[in-house]
Structure 1
């Protein structure tokens, strides 16, 4: 609302005034509108910045909660997958085009991640440099990874065995099929 109000009060291009009194009134109105517009915009930025910082703190808390459930290593692996989004998408797209199911997707992603192990510290650092912003809704994955590494490692409380994985794959098979059709020909 404050951003819209700031736009509303932003002075528009002036029209040519006919008399001195009209010119003075126009200039005073523009000055008051400009000050009011900047004031509202500043308050808007302050509120957005405050809300986004809260959002980033919530993201760190979510990572901590995820580490309690999946273990620290599992969450760090997930963050690395997010940082490798393009290569993961490429692997999944190729597997989907050849008719491979979720097991093939996981195998391909694991292979791509193994090939990228040596460069992941650099990718994490690059994410910190490129994605860090006071106005970002999420902290960079590199900082999230760093936070998890600095904390006491946690073991997973929930584990997924092969039989459970097969049941999940069977339950989600129609969604996998639809996603495979979508992913196969995008990008």
Structure 2
């Protein structure tokens, strides 16, 4: 049974499970707030494989316990990574990298000293190639995207500096702007300079104070530390995952395959054990670092802004599909008409995206919150579930904003970002359809 209420309201239907009224909006999922009917119709399958499964088990083991500790204020201050587990993880990481060094040295010796045999140089080259893949390497600045330095966007960097001071850290040396609905911080180059990745797909859909909270969260990772983001431990995790892939068994089609699988059995499970151990030593600290970064978000932008940021993160999953829809719609026509359509689509792309996300009703936000609570760690084991992060942010503090983002500052920052916004709008319209 369906009925339409007065003009301007949405269609309402009865829930097939409990009979409660269900708002109907063709843009969003129909679901029942009374009994959760159809609340999560598109639940993704968890990532397959032993390593993701092991990480999900570890994440579930911490889950509510770590959130409860944060709500009690047990981990609000102090850097992450000063306990015995972190020191052991660092030592284990050095051991992993020591194996990589040994491979490189052995490869060099085989290449230099084994020319008489002909076989040894080939083996040495293979070992050198493997060592090159396994080596820890610093992040590089991207070559295909807008990169802003202090001289390019002084007010943006001034804002980042102010947020950094509010959360107890310094600013960054470079800001990489991309079209995705994300944000991150890392270091780049041998001198480990600080870099922030600012995704316009997320930045543009946030109200002003939530942008401050976003910056506070990302800079909070520098303030509190995260061993898995470092080149030593992070590089060791990547090296072990690579080893596990290299040593993976092959389908036993013949005697040689069976022999290779038997020879690699012990090394493969040794690598798996080391990877699980390193995960165990670092995953709890990594999730705690996320909670502490959320505290930094609240301190910088306010508790209200930090909670609002969590909700925007939930709806940010719609950003990618919306950008692809814009791209496809602009490219359906060819010739000069198509070129004009693409140019028109580039104009105001980010404003349309913000308007699209801004129109999401509270009913959909509530559905996404319930979906986040249902899925928990099943999709992403390296971050605490968003519903727990939101709960901790809402119960902490409350904090008033230490950094304000008024209209004058927002207008100036928008002008500094204008060239990057235009370049990335052009990339989205021309490339996202594929």
Question: TM-score, normalised on structure 2?
Answer: 0.34
Measure, in 1, the Cα distance between the counterparts of 2:348 and 2:400.
32
SS at match of 2:404: coil
Match of 2:312 among 77, 81, 102: 81
Measured at CA, do residues 160 and 141 of structure 1 come closer, stay the same or move farther in structure 2, by a change above 3 Å?
same
List runs of 5+ in structure 2 lacking aligned partners: 1-238, 327-343
1:138 aligns with 2:369: no
Measure, in 2, the Cα distance between the counterparts of 1:57 and 1:5.
28
Query: Aligned residues, how many?
Result: 171
Superposed displacement of residue 67, structure 1? 0.5
SS at match of 2:278: helix
1:21 aligns to what?
none
Measured at CA, do residues 183 and 73 of structure 1 come closer, stay the same or move farther in structure 2, by a change above 3 Å?
farther
64-73 or 52-61: bigger deviation = 52-61
Residues 19-168 of structure 1 correspond to what in structure 2 (within 5 A)?
A: 30=262, 34-89=265-320, 90=322, 97=345, 99-100=347-348, 105-112=353-360, 115=361, 117-133=362-378, 136-168=381-413
Measure, in 1, the Cα distance between the counterparts of 2:246 and 2:346.
54
Measure, in 2, the Cα distance between the counterparts of 1:11 and 1:107.
50
Superposed displacement of residue 143, structure 1? 1.8
Greater RCO, CA 8 A, separation 6+: 1
Contact 1:49 1:135 in 2 (8 A): no
Contact 1:53 1:134 in 2 (8 A): no
Measured at CA, do residues 93 and 64 of structure 1 come closer, stay the same or move farther in structure 2, by a change above 3 Å?
farther
Measure, in 1, the Cα distance between the counterparts of 2:368 and 2:426.
30
36-45 or 99-108: bigger deviation = 99-108
Compare the two structures and name the one with the higher strand fraction: 2
Contact 1:49 1:134 in 2 (8 A): no
SS at match of 1:66: helix
Contact 1:81 1:88 in 2 (8 A): no
Question: TM-score, normalised on structure 1?
Answer: 0.71
Superposed displacement of residue 34, structure 1? 3.0
1:19 aligns to what?
none
Contact 1:64 1:148 in 2 (8 A): yes
Contact 1:48 1:135 in 2 (8 A): no
SS at match of 1:78: helix
SS at match of 2:419: helix
Measure, in 2, the Cα distance between the counterparts of 1:132 and 1:149.
20
1:177 aligns to what?
422
Measure, in 1, the Cα distance between the counterparts of 2:312 and 2:348.
20
Measure, in 2, the Cα distance between the counterparts of 1:86 and 1:135.
14
SS at match of 1:126: helix
Contact 1:93 1:180 in 2 (8 A): no
